[in-house]
């Protein structure tokens, strides 16, 4: 996947966004037609969908991981279902420890560390397989825009730094669909980071809003004062770089790769050369780390942490209510 264009996240119109606007209208029309002709399928299990309106970078996978931990702690047996984006495996498959990012995608590997994770193009088939293997609820990472799947509880994740970018639909902007259309199907909104007044005004009061933050693990405080060569192949790498700076790390070089980039030997040799020249250490995200060849992982440090909800008890109540409603019906 290519890097997200910078003009997508400028808070103003640009020549590029204006010139691409007619294509955005065609994209929106295609999306609307797909929703009209698609037949929605119902699952026997409660489906909790974690999605976003922008193209990547909002933080849906960290939120999905946290939901998995919360539900496991509460006595449920959740399974994750993902499309396995960027992986070559298209059949419905249970992710195993021997799988690689090339085969099942990086997000699926991270999810499988918490709970059983299914990938495959036909997610409705994955729901059935998960039920056969003992799942009592499904956490679907992405798929909010998929009209063939009936969701029992839909969560939209918003990154407070990027918000909705320039508020335009692809390719004129980063939106997968219009803001109003996306929010009309949302049961709850999670905002990671600060919530601006402008963002607040875009969210209807009737939609519950949960504040969250990405908390860094204590052991990562070793980055404070350290000279760092930071690299990332994610949709919104600025969020990662800012997290390092907020810790007090001294970033001597930022290196950005395309989203879901599969690292090869030459990438690591180049990175090691940068680090040696600047006498810095290499640091990346956990999502990038699983895409690095195992023989080179010892050269790289990761910034690790997890999502923390401002009111986790209230958030759990929303989830349990949705799960019980489905199981009773």
Structural domains of the chain in order of their starting residue, each with its CATH number: 35-214+308-328 (3.40.50.300), 219-303 (3.40.50)
Q: What is the pLDDT of residue 2?
A: 59
Q: Does pTM surpass 0.75?
A: yes
In this model, does residue 1 exceed pLDDT 60?
Answer: no
- Integer CA distances (angstroms), 134 to 4, 43, 70, 183, in order: 39, 14, 18, 32
SS3 content of the chain, % helix, strand, coil (to 5): 40, 20, 40
Q: Mapping DSSP to helix (H, G, I), strand (E, B) and coil, where does residue 167 land? A: coil
In this model, does residue 65 exceed pLDDT 70?
Answer: yes
Q: What is the pLDDT of residue 5?
A: 87
Q: At what angle do helices 312-328 and 60-73 cross, to 10 degrees?
A: 70
Q: Which phi and psi (to 5°) does residue 192 adopt?
A: -95, 115
Q: pLDDT by residue (tens digit) across 226-242?
A: 999 999 999 889 999 99
User: Who wins on pLDDT, 21 or 11?
Assistant: 21
Average pLDDT over the chain, rounded to an integer: 93
- Which residue's entry shows tokens 């984006």? 85
User: Who wins on pLDDT, 3 or 219?
Assistant: 3
Q: pLDDT by residue (tens digit) across 113-168?
A: 999 999 999 999 999 999 999 999 999 999 999 999 999 999 999 999 999 999 99
Residue 295: which of 276, 268, 270 has the closest Cα? 268
Q: pLDDT by residue (tens digit) across 276-301?
A: 999 999 999 999 999 999 999 999 99
d(CA 103, CA 286): 18
Q: What is the pLDDT of residue 93?
A: 96
Q: pLDDT by residue (tens digit) across 178-207?
A: 999 999 999 999 999 999 999 999 999 999
Q: What is the pLDDT of residue 92?
A: 96
Q: Which two tokens stand for residue 130?
A: 């998960």
User: Who wins on pLDDT, 327 or 210?
Assistant: 210
- Strands 153-159 and 300-303, by their bridges, are unpaired
CB 89 within 8 A of CB 104: yes
- Strands 209-216 and 305-309, by their bridges, are antiparallel
Q: Mapping DSSP to helix (H, G, I), strand (E, B) and coil, where does residue 189 land? A: strand
Q: Which two tokens stand for residue 290?
A: 């699983």
Q: What is the pLDDT of residue 221?
A: 67
Q: Give every strand in the sheet of 305-309, ordered side by side.
A: 93-94, 117-119, 78-82, 137-141, 47-51, 153-159, 188-192, 209-216, 305-309
One DSSP character per residue, 220-270 reads GGGGTT-EEEEEE-SS-HHHHHHHHHHTT-EEEEEEE--TT----HHHHHH
């Amino acid at each position: 996947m290519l890097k997200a264009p910078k003009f997508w996240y400028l808070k103003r119109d640009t020549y590029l966004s204006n010139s691409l606007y007619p294509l955005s209208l065609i994209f929106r029309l295609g999306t609307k037609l797909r929703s009209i002709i698609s037949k929605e399928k119902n699952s026997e299990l409660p489906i909790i969908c974690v999605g976003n309106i922008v193209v990547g970078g909002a933080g849906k996978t960290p939120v999905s991981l946290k939901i998995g931990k919360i539900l496991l702690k509460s006595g449920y047996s959740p399974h994750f279902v993902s499309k396995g984006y960027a992986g070559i495996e298209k059949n419905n498959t249970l992710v195993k420890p021997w799988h690689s990012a090339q085969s099942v995608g990086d997000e699926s590997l991270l999810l499988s560390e918490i709970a059983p994770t299914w990938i495959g193009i036909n997610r409705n088939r994955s729901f059935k397989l998960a039920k056969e293997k003992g799942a009592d609820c499904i956490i679907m990472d992405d798929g909010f825009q998929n009209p063939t799947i009936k969701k029992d509880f839909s969560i939209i994740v918003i990154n407070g730094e990027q918000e909705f970018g320039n508020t335009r639909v692809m390719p004129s902007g980063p939106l997968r669909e219009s803001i109003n259309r996306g929010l009309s199907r949302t049961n709850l909104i999670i905002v990671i980071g600060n919530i601006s007044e402008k963002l607040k005004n875009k969210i209807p009061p009737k939609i519950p809003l949960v504040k969250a933050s990405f908390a860094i693990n204590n052991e990562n405080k070793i980055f404070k004062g350290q000279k760092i060569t930071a690299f990332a192949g994610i949709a919104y790498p600025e969020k990662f770089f800012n997290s390092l700076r907020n810790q007090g790390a001294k970033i001597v070089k930022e290196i950005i790769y395309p989203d879901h980039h599969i690292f090869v030997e030459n990438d690591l040799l180049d990175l090691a050369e940068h680090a040696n020249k600047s006498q810095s250490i290499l640091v990346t995200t956990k999502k990038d780390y699983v895409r690095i060849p195992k023989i080179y992982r010892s050269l790289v440090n990761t910034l690790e942490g997890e999502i923390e909800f401002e009111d986790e008890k209230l958030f759990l109540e929303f989830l349990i209510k949705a799960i019980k409603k489905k199981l009773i019906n």
